[in-house]
Structure 1
Amino acid sequence: MTPPLPPLTQVVLKVHSRCDLACDHCYVYEHADTGWRSRPRVIGDAAVARAAERIGEHAAAHGLTAVRVVLHGGEPLMAGPAVIRRVARALRAALPEVCELDLRVHTNGVRLSPAYCELFDELGIRVGLSLDGGRAANDRHRRFADGRSSHPQVLRAVGLLREPRFRHLYAGLLCTVDVANDPVAVYRALAELEPPAVDFLLPHATWERPPQRPAGAGATPYAHWLLAVHRRWEADGRPFAVRTFDSVHRTLSGLPGLGEALGLEPVDLVVLETDGTYEQADSLRTAYDGAPATGMDVFRHSLDDVARHPGTAARQTGLAGLNATCRACPVVRSCGGGLYAHRYRDGSFDHPSVYCADLRALIDGLAARAGAVRRPAPPVDVAGPELSDSQLGELAMGLGGPQTVRALARSQLALTRAMLAAVHGSSGLTGSAAWDLLADLDAAEPGALDAVLAHPYVRSWAARRLSGDPGAGLGTLAELAAAAAVLAGRGDTVAVPVREGVLHLPTLGRLVLGGGAREALVTGGRTGWTARTDDGALTGPGDPRWQPVRRIGLAGGRVLALEDVDPQRAAHRWPVADRLGAAEYARWARDLAEAADLLDRDLPEYAAGLWAGLTTVTPLRPGPDGRDVSSAARQAFGAVGIARPRTAPGLALLLAHEFQHVKLGAVLDRWELYDRGDTRLFEAFDLSPRPIGSLFQAVYAHLAVTAFWGTRALADESAQARFTHWRALTDEAVDLLATSGALTPLGHRFATGARDSVDPWLKATV
């Protein structure tokens, strides 16, 4: 049986094929490949439309929940705002509803302006910038064609991204290593710009075009350079993510690496040029003319076709695809043989990396520094409590009472704890005061710790961290420890990072300090808490700059957090709203109270479980053209995201709909309901064809939707039409699910349960 193709989840989309700088180390224009000369300067409308369609169909066929697209060049900002807007809209329209688009642009920064930043804010595009250090270091290579410095323009661009209104767009900095530059000076120049992440890249080179190795610098100058940066980074408390270091720490702990440069994971990236042709990784341009070519394009070939290409397949085979020297190396699982392009010699890539000695010295050095004994994580029950057969039966029908949903919540908490332990284990942290305090609180005040760890966005942060997202910094561990210490009231003091002028305490709120504070000492006691910043200022929850998480009391003593301050809440498919003003908060409180009463009255069999598991509502920005939008983030049990609809009944419907996704997601964390390798697409609910997992989610959510309109149909003529519409579509979808041939035995039980829920509706007279 042929194994399923690994999906391509990252696309580098070239929107402009020329550049306004003349960097002498550029692999696109200065190395072996010359393919850029024959390509259109700007991507055309036909290529945009077809590329979006190909990405969308690939996401649907493989059931992808997220796709990353990086707008690239050349210099992508030379394409102009209209092209970038057209690309972003085409991509979002083409992706399945359940697939999140992580859209980014990588730029040299020269053309970045407030107008571009406003456009990126509107379109949800994060920005990465190329910068090699201070002015002298940067200008060794990154100059205009006439020799002028580009450094002032790049600093201006970074300044824009550091402004509070645009800070959320700041994805990080990319720095190409030059061993002629002072590593500590480069580090300090970058650290002063407060990036969320920095990626230090080895300059592209091969055995036929080896990297610069200055006389007297020893055999491994690149390792020494990076280890010098690592020492300074560690001493500063790891103020931002560094992908190279994080990747090595992860692989030393047995976790996957972060990207194709290190580690043995299959490469999941493809490049799309301005003429619609597919290419392999851009780094291959350094090998020989035509090295990245595939002979394929978006007009004739799918992304699955590209995944089958021999060049792509060669980077999918892990350890087996390396030469004998690499396979026998003790650090191969961290190194992965190095970047594929850097292995090129005499017409073949079957060699160790030209940086082999440097990579070995770097990995050994980082392993030695991480060798101190770490405090072990507390034991974790990953599975959590078992569910009885009757509880599974409730869930199979789309329902689930309070005890059943609370059991799911306990299971999710156990999973969050396991993921938190994995984050710590892969971090390389030694002597972490935050982790030690978390372990102490787990033993002495487990209730306080659980109250923080049950916050939905703790797990979403941990999932991002474990997936290698450079924006998921380790400072969150200190924030969690501080929040739990405040709830415990023991008087513990925790050093917490102040990011973008804000001190955040998960589940509690945020303190908007502004200014230059980088850290605060948070002390929680029985009478409250205080925060002392590194400039000596003392403050606490009585400060007018404190923005607490506001909680809305509902009938029956129930409480919902209206979460509009947590920086991790941006886990939803749609952009989150900013902090609500007093008037909008009052509207939310009014509508949530009315929606809760309506659910209790008209949908009690669903409402009872919903109130046992729903803890958090995150306001979203209004959808396109003002339409209702809502979301259940897969890694955030207990939370739903909603743009407040015009009516309270509309809000009630969205709450019921999204919590169905929340419940089913928790079930899928414990049990297999369908064959995840089934790549067929199924058409239901008048939506675009979708994979079996999306069909299952749609059926489960629409059980609550149909029930909602069924109860309202008794007294509302417009509801009667909607009930008739949804019961017919749900009936058809349940049949499609049951006969799909993709379900496990438990999945069949859920399909039978859905049928048991639908059949009575079919007999109802409207």
Structure 2
Amino acid sequence: MFRQFVLKVATRCDLACDHCYVYESADTSWRRKPRFAEADTVRRTAERIAEHAVAHRLPAVVVVLHGGEPLLLGPDRMRGVLTVLRDTVERAGCALDLRVHTNGVRLDPEFCDLFREHRVQVGISLDGDRAANDLHRRFANGASSYEKAQRAVALLRDRYPDIFAGVLCTIDVRNEPVAVYEAIRETTPPRADFLLPHATHSKPPLRLDPAHNEYADWLLAVFDRWNADGRPFPIRSFTSVLDAFRGLPSGTESLGLDPVDLVVVETDGTLEQTDSLKAAYDGAPTTGFDVFTHSFDEASAHPGFEARRHGLADLSGTCRRCPVVAICGGGLRTHRYRASSIEEDPFDNPSVYCHDLRDLIMGIRARTLAPPAVRVPAQRTLGLPADVVHQLAHGYGDAKAIAHLSRFQRSLRILLLAKVFAAADGNSGPRQEMVDAAIATLKTLDGIHKTTLHEVLGHPYMPVWALRCLDDAHTGRPHPDDFAHLAALAAATAIRAGADADIEVPVRRGAVYLPTLGRLVVGADAGTSMRLRIRHGECDVLNLPAWQGVRRVPLPTFASGGIALEDTDPFRRCHHWEVARRLPDPDADMWLRMIPQAWDILARDHHSYAPGIAAGLSTIVPLTPSPSGRDVSSTARRAFGAIGAALPVPRAGRAQRPASALALLMVHEFQHVKLGAVLDMADLHDRHDTRLYEAPWRQDPRPLEGLLQGTYAHVGVTDFWRVRRFTAPDADERAHAEAEFGLWHGHTLRATGALAASGSLTPLGLRFVEALRTTLDAWTSKV
């Protein structure tokens, strides 16, 4: 399976860099490729990506436009490429993260406006100051490209910071490392990376003194200055190593043992392995597949792609025995190449940079060895994989991470149901016969329609009901109607499964409630129960005028197919704010119109949160609006998958549009949902710490978990405003977003300090807080 696609839109370049792996290395296939990707090739590539996303239910994919120099395509043809890609892939229900990497020579406001329109992140190649850059990055006539590259960086930094992805620098050990770093720092990039020049054992890298590991020395000199500067922006060469020390994914194919999920599409539609293999031998990246006759699934079976999924098993014996192999992962596969006989694997070698990688890793380890002081041992860490921790700890959480939390929540709900079964015996009073019959029906449905039962159990307020039953039984004051709700669960499951059943269900407060479906209002005089006759999933009550079904907003990218607007379930009354009564149709219609508008904002502009929200948010509960008119929202700790909110409305003095306000509430509250699920799986803090802590955003002090929850939620709030500064449609709202970003960035940063200083965080809790601070620090240059 692939999640990253490099699309070559041009095979020529306007520079003649002598360290280029495309034109100056062993592979010469570029000479036989079309100069530009034709419209049919782009269209078929987009269709294949969409097909792959649908087949693997991918919530998002990354497409990087590359070359050669992709801007040689020109603005008009570039617009056509971007339009086809975004329309085709997003029509399939998959979010598209578009990026372009350029030397910057041709970057101008016209291109930048186009990239902003299509939400394309732009990365620039820059090798340092003028002397360092001009050592390699020159025009064919020998002229310098430095001023044009600097102009491109300044354009992105000063006028288009929302699309500035960062800077890539290729190392040359003849350049002074600190001078190169300071030149990169002056561009104030959102992130940077320092790349080892592509080399192999057959064509080794330049070394001035073979007795020294010069590339490690060079990078450690940069690390020392970057560290002394307070790490003003992320440098992937270093953050990947630091993350790997913590057991987290490296985030790059150059380090670590994580499988590589990248494929290259050439201008003629042929599919290739990672581009760097061009440095190995002529034809090294080729696969024999193309987008016109092969799917990406077919291509993924190629031995070259397979080898990159085997982790340690793909490495040489020397690498497997190395103590730092889990960190370096054997280095880049290209750098392991050595020309050999046909019987031998030419990649079965340590990296040509093996000793440099070892010294770099050990050097960073020595410089960052002292761990933070922790007085609290870890207690529960139930099945949180390293990649999920990495996603969530930094404040994000893609669809894969949310799916992991969801699976654990499903297990909890199954356990809760079993406990309710046990507690119901002898605690159901006059409802005992109804409850026993419901339990029998649920067990039968579990055997035949397990998936449907799990869908009903996935209703966010099922745990609220179950815990209420268990609490009542524990205190000796059981409420028979609570246990009788088992019959409603059984009826809802039978209807959804298309099954046959005769079930007596309780009437509570004049209504019959069927979770996930709605309620039938029967009035106070209807008695205490009603028998439902269900045939092939059809039940007459759902067609009665008094039936109030759960309204749904169809959003195809969501795991559940959309969002339920839940204003019927009796157990939703567990929010901090009063829940709204059943919405009249005009009010409901306002919700049904505004939720898609809010989602469009998230899907378009907030790619770090949208896939996770789509995977995990199933329900919005309308809340009663605040008398003051301020926005109101809430989560219930045990209602995973649901948020509560009052519908934002226009008001005097409000700079933010209502749809944007709802999008912000969705980000804010789903942060609470995520962290609550994490806390169900692992201890992040000492639960016996009863002290209260100052929260910068509240007047009243908060318990430690409250401060942790607020901090985590406000990282999402800060990021929302960070992006909104550039994407809001008018100047007033952009100015408002700028002020809000500065306010929440400061508040949240101070809160991470209070948490770290509490002395009551577990090691995993400290990791979360450190990662949140790293995320916030990465935005410092934007404050």
Q: Structure 1 residues 616, 375: closer, same or farther in 2, change over 3 A? A: farther
Q: Is the 8 A contact 1:404 1:609 kept in 2?
A: yes
Q: Displacement of 1:65 after TM fit?
A: 1.9
- Give 3-state SS (helix, strand or coil) of 2:53's partner: helix
Q: Name the SS for the 1:152 alignment partner.
A: helix
Aligned length: 457
Structure 1 616/572 Cα, relative in aligned 2: closer, same or farther at 3 Å? farther
Q: Which range is displaced more, 390-399 or 81-90? A: 390-399
1:126 paired with 2:127, answer no
Q: What code does the residue aligned with 2:295 have?
A: S
Cα offset, 1:397, TM superposition: 7.0
Contact preservation (8 Å) 1:200, 1:242: yes
Check conservation: 2:648, 2:661, Cα contact below 8 A.
Answer: no
Cross-structure match for 1:721: none
Q: Distance in 2 between matches of 1:144 and 1:122?
A: 30
Residue 281 of structure 1 and its aligned partner are, at CA, apart by: 0.7
SS state at 1:203 partner: coil
Give secondary structure in 1 for the equivalent of 2:165.
Answer: strand
Distance in 2, Cα, partners of 1:56 & 1:593: 38
- Read off the aligned partner of 1:279 and give its amino acid letter: E
Is the CA contact 1:144–1:150 (under 8 Å) kept in the aligned structure 2?
yes
Q: How far apart, in 1, do the equivalents of 2:331 and 2:146 lie?
A: 30
Distance 1:249 1:663 in 2: 28
- 2:49 is the alignment partner of 1:19: no
- What does the per-residue CA deviation read over 1:100-133, in whole Å, with 9 as the maximum and x for residues that have no partner? 2111000000000011111111000000000000
Contact 1:570–1:576 (CA<8 Å) still a contact in 2? no
Q: Which residue of 2 aligns with 1:45?
A: 39
What residue identity is the alignment partner of 2:367?
Answer: R
Q: Normalization by structure 1: what TM-score? A: 0.54
TM-fit CA distance, 1:264:
0.8
The residue number in structure 2 matching 1:266 is 259
Report whether the alignment pairs 1:360 with 2:358: yes
2:456 to 388, 393, 396: 396
Give 2:69's match in structure 1, choosing from 61, 70, 75: 75
- Report whether the alignment pairs 1:179 with 2:177: no
**Structure 1 stretch displaced more, 365-374 or 380-389:** 380-389
How far the C-alpha of 1:247 sits from its partner, in A, is: 1.1
Instruction: State the Cα deviation string for residues 391-430 of structure 1 (Å, max 9, x = none).
Output: 998972775449839999xxxxxxxxxxxxxxxxxxxxxx
Establish whether residue 29 from structure 1 lines up as the match of residue 44 from structure 2: no
Provide the rounded CA distance (Å) in 2 between the counterparts of 1:67 and 1:207.
34
Distance 1:303 1:670 in 2: 38
Larger radius of gyration between Structure 1 and Structure 2: 2
Q: So what's the TM-score if we normalise by structure 2?
A: 0.53
Selected match of 2:643 from 606, 609, 613: 613
* 1:571–1:254 Cα change, 3 Å: farther
Aligned to 1:311: 304
Is contact 2:580–2:624 with CA below 8 Å preserved after alignment? no
* 1:298 equivalent in alignment to 2:328: no
Residue type of the alignment partner of 2:94: C
Tell me the alpha carbon deviations over residues 689-708 of structure 1, each in whole angstroms, 9 at most, x when there is no partner. Answer: xxxxxxxxxxxxxxxxxxxx
Give 1:573's aligned residue: 603
Single out whichever of 374-383 and 360-369 deviates more from structure 2: 374-383
Distance 1:233 1:665, change over 3 A: closer
Return the alpha-carbon distance in structure 1 between the equivalents of residues 256 and 347 of structure 2: 17
In structure 2, the partner of 1:191 is 185
> What amino acid is the match of 2:250?
G
Whole-Å Cα distance in 2 between the matches of residues 107 and 146 of structure 1? 20
Q: Deviations over 1:421-465 (max 9, x none)?
A: xxxxxxxxxxxxxxxxxxxxxxxxxxxxxxxxxxxxxxxxxxxxx
Please tell me the residue identity of whatever aligns with 2:339: D
Aligned mate of 1:346, from 314, 336, 339: 339
The match for 2:370 is 372
Q: Is the 8 A contact 1:261 1:338 kept in 2?
A: yes
Amino acid of the structure 2 residue aligned with 1:574 = R
State the partner residue of 2:195. Answer: 201
Structure 2 residue identity aligned to 1:309 = H
Whichever residue aligns with residue 355 of structure 1, its letter is Y
Instruction: State the partner residue of 1:106.
Output: 101
Following superposition, the deviation at residue 226 of structure 1 comes to 0.1
Q: 1:104 to 1:178 in 2, by over 3 A?
A: same
C-alpha displacement at 1:251, in angstroms? 1.6
CA 1:56–1:629: 2 relative to 1, 3 Å: farther
Q: 1:173 to 1:593 in 2, by over 3 A?
A: same
Structure 2 distance, partners of 1:323, 1:618, is 59
Equivalent residue letter for 1:134? D
Shift of 1:252: 1.8
Q: Residues 131-167 of structure 1: CA distance to partner in whole angstroms, max 9, x if unpaired?
A: 000001100000011111101011110111112x410
SS at match of 1:638: helix
Asked if the contact 2:98–2:120 (Cα under 8 Å) also holds between the matched residues in 1, the reply is: yes
* Aligned with 2:227 (options 231, 234, 250): 234
Q: How does 1:403-418 map to 2 (within 5 A)?
A: 404=464
SS at structure 2 position matched to 1:614: strand
CA distance in 2, matches of 1:243, 1:616: 41
1:638 correspondence with 2:632: no
2:212 corresponding residue in structure 1: 219
Check conservation: 1:16, 1:43, Cα contact below 8 A. Answer: yes
Alignment partners' CA distance in 1, 2:664 and 2:48? 25
Task: Report the 3-state secondary structure (helix = DSSP H, G, I; strand = E; otherwise coil) of the residue aligned with 1:613.
Answer: strand
How many Å apart are 1:595 and its aligned residue? 9.6
The amino acid that maps onto 1:323 is: S
Q: Over residues 271-313 of structure 1, what are the superposed CA-to-partner deviations in whole Å (9 max), with x where a residue is unaligned?
A: 1000000011111111111111111100011111121001111
Evaluate the alpha carbon distance shift between residue 406 and residue 90 of structure 1 in structure 2; reply closer, same or farther with a 3 A threshold.
farther
1:509-529 CA deviation, whole Å, 9 max, x = no partner? xxxxxxxxxxxxxxxxxxxxx
Name the CA shift for 1:263/1:570 in 2 (closer, same or farther; >3 Å).
Answer: farther
Residues 615 and 638, structure 1, Cα contact 8 Å, conserved in 2: no
Aligned-partner residue type, residue 22 of structure 1:
A
The 5 Å alignment of 1:239-254 reads 239-254=232-247
Q: Is the 8 A contact 1:177 1:202 kept in 2?
A: yes
Quick one: distance in 2 between partners of 1:178 and 1:594?
63
Q: Give per-residue Cα distances to partners, 1:637-692, cap 9 Å, x unaligned.
A: 7259xxxxxxxxxxxxxxxxxxxxx9899989989xxxxxxxxxxxxxxxxxxxxx
Do the aligned partners of residues 669 and 20 (structure 1) sit closer, same or farther apart at CA in structure 2, a change above 3 Å counting?
farther
Secondary structure at 2:168's aligned position in 1?
strand
Residue 235 to residue 242, structure 1, CA distance change in 2 (3 Å): same
RMSD of Structure 2 on Structure 1 (CA): 4.1
Give 3-state SS (helix, strand or coil) of 1:195's partner.
Answer: coil
Summarize the Cα distance change of 1:614–1:139 in structure 2 as closer, same or farther, 3 Å threshold.
farther
Gaps of 5+ in 1: 1-6, 409-552, 558-568, 578-591, 598-605, 620-627, 641-661, 672-766
Distance, in Å, in 1 between the alignment partners of 2:467 and 2:82 is: 41
The match for 1:646 is none
Ranges in structure 2 where 5+ consecutive residues have no aligned partner: 341-345, 383-407, 422-451, 469-576, 582-598, 608-621, 628-635, 650-658, 682-783
Confirm whether residue 283 of structure 1 aligns to residue 313 of structure 2.
no
Give the aligned residue type for 1:614: G
Give, in angstroms, the shift of residue 88 of structure 1. Answer: 2.0
User: In 1, Cα distance between the equivalents of 2:648 and 2:254?
Assistant: 37
C-alpha distance in structure 2 between counterparts of 1:570 and 1:171, whole Å: 22
1:89 Cα deviation after fit = 2.2
CA distance in 1, matches of 2:664, 2:59: 10
Q: Do 1:139 and 1:151's aligned partners in 2 also have CA atoms closer than 8 Å?
A: yes
| 1:276–1:90 Cα change, 3 Å | same
String of CA shifts for 1:224-269, please: whole Å, max 9, x gaps.
Answer: 0000000001001111111111111122222222221111111111
Q: Which residue of 2 aligns with 1:459?
A: none
> Residue in 2 aligned with 1:166?
160
Q: Quote the Cα distance in structure 2 between the aligned partners of 1:200 and 1:73.
A: 20
Name the SS of the counterpart of 1:189 in structure 2: helix
